[in-house]
Amino acid sequence: MHNSLLTREWAEEMDRQDELARFRQEFYVQEGTIYLNGNSLGLMSKRAEASLFTLMESWKHYGIDGWTQGKRPWFFLAEQLRVRLAPLIGAEEHEVIVTGSTTVNIHQLVATFYQPQGNRTKIVADALNFPSDIYALQSQLRLSGFDPDTHLIRIPSADGRCLDEGEIARHLTEEVALVLLPTVLYGSGQRLDVEGLTNLAHERGIVVGWDACHSIGAMPHQFHKWGVDFAVWCSYKYVNGGPGGVGGLFVHEKHLPATPGLAGWFGSDKQRQFDMTHTFVPAEDAGAFQIGTPHVLSMAPLVGSLEMFGEAGIERIRAKSLRLTQYLMDLVDTELAGMGFQIGNPRADEQRGGHVSLIHEEAVRICKALKGEGVVPDYRAPDVIRLAPVALYTSFVEVWEAIKRLKRIMTDKIYEQYSNERGVVA
Ligand SMILES: *Cc1c(COP(=O)(O)O)cnc(C)c1O
């Protein structure tokens, strides 16, 4: 690599050429702080704040009539928002709904699409998946009368960081009814071949669901075209929907209309919902998978946030994200060589997500020192430092500056001043 890449001037030049640079000023970026934790909780934007206030205003002014009046009538909000969400995941609008949370949506869609028959009774997930996904699968198996110890198959990982696609393929046997995989692994940031694995599972008669928590808002998807059966995601990571922001789900139109595994009145055909009968008439689109009253105030920031995604374009967001993470890895390779760091994510563009996974045996203390030096990283036990430069608000100069501070933390052994215990939220 040419030496000039390592200079602040080069980073400044990249920022000047950045066609998404104008979005940074729309976010509350704290002075002096370099926020690299957008993969856990995206920053607040002014537009998200404004749309939250808009919905609070309609509560203030309309009371109960806010359901049908005001700027954004609550009764139709989840359905309206899918217009902006569909392009992020490559879906037809009627295949998407904003509802629930990742975990709840897994429960809903596994309750709907896990249909054990004969010898085909197992569910496949991976040994590296987020615990909540696994807990949900375990309880769904129990509810169907199966023992999760024998019926939840977890694809092992040879290095504890990444999955081998050949190994995934070997686990998709004729005993498997359903497979749930992450589009991007939350730890290492490995991105899986969603299209290829979906096709493979379908050839073997297996229903495929994807957890897109770590890819939505960071890269494009083509869930409809790829024939994905269902998918779930949250909105508080790269989509910047705020803490506890309402998640979403996708169900391919080939499965619609569908009867949801877990029914509730907000899954009703909207024209019939207020008939108040005891016969459930589900919506014909993915709206059928809603359960109870939508969390309007937790959905509100999405109105403003998704507008920005529409303007920026998810292709451009991915292109910048790849440049940012590549630059970060280049700086790690050159500036931090010999300091015990290792890159835990695959390096190829098509195999990595939106964050860089830095491995170091002193990860706990290094993360604390980074925070002390004004860089917000994300720690994952036991030895992973996740760094997510986010296309909409992180600059190249910030990446350069973060690595400069990290280098100083290592050369001056600043991390040794911190204790080796992880915090409660980490
Ligand atoms: C963030 C995340 C979750 C969180 O689920 P919630 O129901 O929103 O708390 C679950 N699974 C994965 C893979 C995640 O990345």
Clarify whether residues 270 and 303 are in a common domain: yes
Mutation pick for ligand 1 pocket among 41, 103, 215 (CB with most ligand atoms within 8 Å): 103
Q: Which residues are annotated as a binding site?
A: 102-103, 130-133, 211, 214, 236, 265, 293
Q: Report whether 44 contacts 253 (CB < 8 A).
A: no
Distance from the alpha carbon of residue 186 to the mean position of ligand 1, in angstroms: 9
What is the distance in A from the centroid of ligand 1 to the CA of 415?
Answer: 30
Domain CATH number, residue 20: 3.90.1150.10
Domain that holds residue 139: 50-311
By alpha-carbon position, which residue is closest to atom 4 of ligand 1? 102
DSSP labels for 171-190?
H--TTEEEEEEESB-TTT-B
Ligand 1 atom at minimal distance to the Cα of residue 104: 7
Q: Are residues 365 and 394 in the same domain?
A: yes
- Report yes or no on 425 lying in a domain: no
Short-list 92, 91, 109, CA closest to 100 = 109
What is the pLDDT, as a whole number, of residue 425? 67
Q: Residue 146 belongs to a domain with what CATH number?
A: 3.40.640.10
Question: Among the three residues 311, 332, 348, which one is the final residue of a domain in this structure?
Answer: 311
Q: Is residue 422 part of a domain?
A: no
Q: Are residues 326 and 287 in the same domain?
A: no
Dist. CA 71 → ligand 1 center (Å): 31
CA–CA separation, 155 vs 128, rounded Å? 8
Closest CA to 116 of 175, 166, 59, 187: 175
Residue 41 lies in a domain: no
Question: Residue 214: CB within 6 Å of ligand 1?
Answer: yes
Q: For a substitution probing ligand 1, which of 37, 104, 213 has the most ligand atoms within 8 Å of its CB?
A: 213
> Is the CB of 103 within 6 Å of ligand 1?
yes
Q: Are residues 296 and 374 in the same domain?
A: no
> What is the spatial distance between Cα 221 and Cα 243, in angstroms, rounded to a whole number?
24
DSSP tag of 348: S
Known binding-site residues for pyridoxal 5'-phosphate equal 102-103, 130-133, 211, 214, 236, 265, 293
How many beta carbons lie within 10 A of that of residue 41, not counting itself? 18
Looking at the domain assignment, is residue 42 inside a domain? no
- Does one domain contain both 211 and 297? yes
Q: Which residues pair with 375 in a beta bridge?
A: 34
Instruction: Let me know if residue 20 belongs to a domain.
Output: yes
Looking at the fold, whether 298 and 317 belong to one and the same domain comes out as no
* Closest ligand 1 atom number to CA of residue 40: 1
Atom of ligand 1 nearest to the CA of 103: 7
99 CB under 6 A from ligand 1? no
Q: Whose CA is nearest to atom 14 of ligand 1?
A: 213
Pairing state of beta strands 176-182 and 122-126?
parallel
Our count of domains for the chain comes to 2
Ligand 1 near 138 CB (within 6 A): no
Nearest CA to ligand 1 atom 2: 213
Confidence at residue 423, expressed as pLDDT on a 0 to 100 scale:
72
Residues 259 and 175 grouped into a single domain: yes
Of the residues 256, 285, 311, the one at which a domain ends: 311
Distances (CA, A) of 240 to 24, 204, 349, 363, 392: 13, 37, 23, 26, 10
Residue ending a domain, among 275, 295, 311, is 311
CA of 63 to the centre of ligand 1 (A): 33
Residue 260 and residue 401 in one domain: no
Q: Are residues 151 and 300 in the same domain?
A: yes
Ligand 1, atom 12: closest residue by C-alpha: 130
pLDDT 10s digits, 67-102 = 999 999 999 999 999 999 999 999 999 999 999 999
Closest by CA position to 86, among listed 95, 77, 74, 99: 95
Query: Is residue 102 in contact with ligand 1, taking CB distance under 6 Å?
Result: yes
Q: Which two tokens stand for residue 334?
A: 């050159």
Same domain for 254 and 371? no
Kindly state whether residue 21 falls inside one of the protein's structural domains.
yes
CA-closest residue to ligand 1 atom 6:
102
CA separation for the pair 128, 147 (Å, rounded): 20
Q: What is the pLDDT along the chain (426 residues), one digit of tens a residue?
A: 556 778 999 999 999 999 999 999 999 999 999 999 999 999 999 999 999 999 999 999 999 999 999 999 999 999 999 999 999 999 999 999 999 999 999 999 999 999 999 999 999 999 999 999 999 999 999 999 999 999 999 999 999 999 999 999 999 999 999 999 999 999 999 999 999 999 999 999 999 999 999 999 999 999 999 999 999 999 999 999 999 999 999 999 999 999 999 999 999 999 988 888 999 999 999 999 999 999 999 999 999 999 999 999 999 999 999 999 999 999 999 999 999 999 999 999 999 999 999 999 999 999 999 999 999 999 988 999 999 999 999 999 999 999 999 999 999 999 999 988 877 666
* Residue nearest atom 5 in ligand 1 by C-alpha distance: 102
Quote the distance between the C-alpha of residue 194 and its chain's center. 14
Q: Do 262 and 404 reside in the same domain of the chain?
A: no
> What integer pLDDT is reported at residue 426 of this predicted model?
64
Of 39, 40, 102, the residue with max ligand 1 atoms within 8 A of its CB, to mutate for a pocket test, comes to: 102
Place of tokens 């998978």: 289
- Residue at 38 is within a domain: no
Indicate which atom in ligand 1 lies nearest the CA of residue 106: 7
- How do residues 34-69 score in pLDDT, each as one tens digit? 999 999 999 999 999 999 999 999 999 999 999 999
CB-ligand 1 contact for 249 (6 Å cutoff): no
Please give the backbone phi and psi of residue 352, each rounded to the nearest 5 degrees, phi first: -125, 155
Residues 199, 223 share a domain: yes
DSSP for 251-285, written as a single string: E-GGG-S---SS--GGGB-TTTGGG--SS--B-SS
**Nearest Cα residue to 352 out of 174, 151, 184, 144:** 184
The answer to whether residue 242 is domain-embedded is yes
Q: At 296, which helix (H) or strand (E)? A: helix 296-312
